[in-house]
Amino acid sequence: MEIRPYRSGDETGWVRCRVLAFLDTAYYENVLREKEVYDNPSIELVAIENGQVIGLIDVEYEIKESTVCSRGTGLGGMIWHIAVHPDFRRQGIGKQLLLEAEKFARVNSLNRLEAWTRDDDWVNDWYVKNRFQKVDSYLQVYMGGKEEMRQALSSSLPDFHLVQAYGHYVGEKKEDIQGRFKRVHECSCYEKKL
């Protein structure tokens, strides 16, 4: 296996790897049809095996404090994507990608990495095992169907009916929200000091 910088010719493999990696997670609906392009500098790495993208990590980083990350002081990097193809999990590929990204982060004078994830226990455990600390959270609420939509939203446009929506709940009474809607995820922020 080789870990190297992402190249434009990797895009199809990158998209396939990310889609397959996310299908059995709480991010299953977060499908991208093309790789994101970042406004700020970024660390974009792929793990390659026999010409196939089997893992990836994208870290957009700050050159001015508080322009990418949501917290902390100094320059940070946001892990937007980290994924390992399901056929290659449990082989340490995610950790190797993270360690390589950390080398680039230090060269670029970053003092921390930040990542947000939903409530898959195995993903949250991975961050903790790799020395990240949970520093924040909120609820992401998906609403669908007439009853859920009526509880939370309405339209002021005549003859316009909302059928699906999602929102962020940042209040203290999380149990009230979790009991009202069928699909609620806790989104957690993890931070790793470099």
CB 141 within 8 A of CB 181: yes
Specify the pTM: 0.91
- DSSP codes joined into one string, 86-143: GGGTTSSHHHHHHHHHHHHHHHTT--EEEEEE-S-HHHHHHHHHTT-EEEEEEEEEEE
Tokens at residue 187, please?
A: 């989104």
- pLDDT (tens digit per residue) in 84-101: 999 999 999 999 999 999
Ordered alpha helix ranges (H), the chain: 11-22, 93-107, 121-129, 146-152, 174-180
One CATH from 1.10.3720.10, 3.40.630.30, 1.10.287.70, 1.10.3980.10 for 2-135: 3.40.630.30
Any idea which residue has 């929506």 for tokens? 165
What is the per-residue pLDDT for 34?
A: 96
- pLDDT (tens digit per residue) in 102-140: 999 999 999 999 999 999 999 999 999 999 999 999 999
- Domain positions in the chain are 2-135, 139-185
Which residues of the chain, if any, have pLDDT below 70? Answer: none
Residues across the chain = 194
What is the per-residue pLDDT for 60?
A: 98
Q: Give which of 9, 10, 115 is closest to 60, Cα–Cα.
A: 115
What is the per-residue pLDDT for 166?
A: 86
d(CA 61, CA 108): 9
What is the per-residue pLDDT for 194?
A: 96
Nearest-10 Cα torsion for 147, 149, 152, 154? -120
